[in-house]
Amino acid sequence: MDKIHKIIRIAIDVPVPGLFDYLAEASSEDIGRRVIVPFGKKQIAGIVLEVGSHSEVPENRLKPAFRIFRENPPLDRNLLDLFRFCSGYYHHPIGSVVMNALPAKLKTLEPLELKQDLFLSLTEAGRMAQPRGRNLNRLLDSLRVNPVLSMNSLRTEFPLPSIRKLLDLGFAEAAPGKPAPIEIAPHPVLNESQHNAVSGILGNLSGFHPWLLFGVTGSGKTEVYLQVISRILQMGRQVLFLVPEINLTPHLEQVFKSRFPGTSIASLHSGLSDTERVQNWLKAQTGQARIVLGTRLAVFTPFFSLGLIVVDEEHDASFKQQEGLRYSARDVAVMRAKRENIPVILGSATPSLESYFSAMKGRYRLLELKTRAVLEARLPEVHFVDLRSEKRHGGLSEKLIKAVSLRLERKEQSLIFINRRGYSPALICSSCSWTPDCKRCSSRLVLHLKEGRLRCHYCGHEEKIVQTCPHCGNLDLKPVGHGTQRIESELLGHFPHARILRIDRDSIRKKKSWNEMLQKIRRGEADILVGTQILAKGHDFPNLTLVGILNPDASLYSSDFRASERLFAQLAQVSGRAGRAGSPGEVLIQTEFIDHPLYVALKHHDYRAMAELLLEERKAAGFPPYVHQALIRAESASIEQAMAFLGHVSAIASNLAGEVTVFDPAPASMARLGNMERAQILFQSPFRKKLQEFLDTLLPGLNSSNRTVRWHVDVDPLEF
């Protein structure tokens, strides 16, 4: 029997380093379990990370724990080690790391129970039935294809009353139990590069192997994932599949369900209720869910037998958390795979320079898919509209208008991409050039004409549209520039009978609106799509043959050294939506710089040329991936206080620097956000270990009791 100890050391969600000691009868088997303890005048939940017989705190000052929950399995040791790694690497309190990785229900004081999923099977009456009602017929069709289906999976596609009616009519039976054995639907024949990629990965399933799957848009990366996942499932292991945004999950869920009917699939993302999230989390932990599909926080999900991690669209900045624990889910996924001793696949048509650099250095194994998977499909022809000579009508060139008109005649779909929502990015007085600024941020308010509001896209502040200039009283206030709403209006003027669908963060706010829009597009109920970067990632629209790109030039001369990398990735991804089936695709880019190297590489679909050019620039300038960086950001009611604090940090840091470069404090690029003034100081070193040692020495000595300044550290920052 495991030795019983009297001290437990637990992680609690408070912004101080270290663990908290309590009295409890516990053994090493309790490490990783949830516990309820007194903290001040209240009770809170924590996780046991250590047990022992001694404490540095006198025993008469220690409080007893109220309860250790032993009903559910504990968090496994590999996951707890991953939490410790993240706490150390990102310099964030261990208690906050652990507790914020858990579903909200696990932070409550109540016990939790995994709800037994019910499985529906078709009865003899159901096999013969031909009822009226679209949903009932669809339900029966699903059960005729897959004889046993999970109630939970059915509820994501069908209304509960229809499922109940099916049971009431005796067409199906529901019973608890395990899913049917792994069933795999027929799959398409792989082309040579897909076959080589699958063979390479399947030949190295034992042990840690990081793969970079670099494939052009439409090259069939998903099919490579599916065939590898198929083998992992047959081995009795589980799969973690990470995507950068919640909008990518509905389609992938359907893909997984079609390929692996009867397999339990759990989603983990912010669109779930607290109950749904914790139940799916528990299913992963107990092994009931065989595939877990999630956004960045899902990288911390416990598993019964994890066999593979996939990070799709690995280049996407959404994998980087910008609050609290500022971690990169992509990098943590690689670290987790190393600790679990399993393979990890990073996939992208436009890999991040960091991942591409790692592949060139041999740290990752590179797999390439150079052609599109559909035999007749070709990468789209990329053409430019020279805005120095072309006339525009409300932001749309004549060449683009004609191209859209041609697609309407052919009954093909067009996508107009502009990465700016709202009607216009600014409202301006024609007399004195006044523009409405956000009172809380150093940014302009964006005009949202349909809602009659001016909105800040950084802090969410909004106001009514002003009718007169507050400076000079002029009534002539004009919108400047174009957003998705304005382009939608312009297109309606040119094509009044076209079915135009606008897709941006404003139009998909309701929970099911994005999924409904996707279905409309795939059913051919939309002729022209107008959208932001939401449309650029991972979507397959077979009838879409034209992509028009508006206003991309602003990013070419940004002060952000990653701006060119992001722009190329964004344009390559959105261009890749065109011509994915048999019909040829065309991309029209409206620009004033048609000879810019970025556009030349884009025209030839030459990621490597762009990557090598950017890497040369990064090496000459001393930027990542050739160096490693960390920021300390400070915010205060006044910029003077923030800068004074960072001046103090700079003085301490300069004495510790060694092989770390300490830059001067400076205001942040967004100097004011949410009524707070922001400044930052940058540290960098060619050696990751040296930078970490420097931070380990510097951070404990900083004044954490300064109430006029809030500060945090960001390791491997993406935003400046």
Cβ–Cβ under 8 Å, residues 650 and 665: yes
102, 127: one domain = no
218, 345: one domain = yes
pLDDT value at position 637? 92
Residue 638's contacts (CB-CB under 8 Å, 6 or more residues apart) are 677
Say how many domains are in the chain.
5
Kindly report the pTM of this predicted structure.
Answer: 0.87
Among 53, 81, 107, which residue terminates a domain?
107
652, 608: one domain = no
199, 331: one domain = yes
Please report, for the domain that includes residue 397, its CATH number. Answer: 3.40.50.300
CA 84 – CA 92 distance, rounded (Å): 10
Chain-centroid distance, C-alpha 16: 28
Residues of the chain with pLDDT below 50 are 1
Tell whether 201 is covered by a domain: yes
Tell whether 132 is covered by a domain: yes
CA 613 – CA 477 distance, rounded (Å): 44
485, 364: one domain = no
408, 524: one domain = yes
pLDDT value at position 392? 85
419, 550: one domain = yes
Cα 293-296-299 angle, rounded to 5 deg = 70
Among 347, 369, 391, which residue terminates a domain?
369
Q: What pLDDT, in 10s, does the model give residues 568-611? A: 999 999 998 888 877 889 999 999 999 999 999 999 999 999 99
Cβ–Cβ under 8 Å, residues 41 and 82: no
CA 286 – CA 117 distance, rounded (Å): 13
Tell whether 447 is covered by a domain: no
Tell whether 456 is covered by a domain: no
413, 294: one domain = no
101, 131: one domain = no
Interhelix angle 607-621/563-575, nearest 10 degrees = 170
DSSP state of 28: G
The tokens of 523 are what? 């059913």
Tell whether 476 is covered by a domain: no
Phi, then psi, of 322 in degrees rounded to 5: -110, 5
Among 369, 395, 412, which residue terminates a domain?
369
644, 528: one domain = no
206, 163: one domain = no
Tell whether 623 is covered by a domain: no
- In this structure, which amino acid lies at residue 580? R
Please report, for the domain that includes residue 669, its CATH number. Answer: 3.30.70.600
Q: Is 58 helix (H, G, I), strand (E, B) or coil?
A: coil
Tell whether 13 is covered by a domain: yes
pLDDT value at position 1? 47
What domain range is 490 assigned to?
381-424+481-617
102, 39: one domain = yes
Cα dihedral 717, 222, 546, 375, rounded to 10, equals 140
Tell whether 55 is covered by a domain: yes
Cβ–Cβ under 8 Å, residues 283 and 150: no
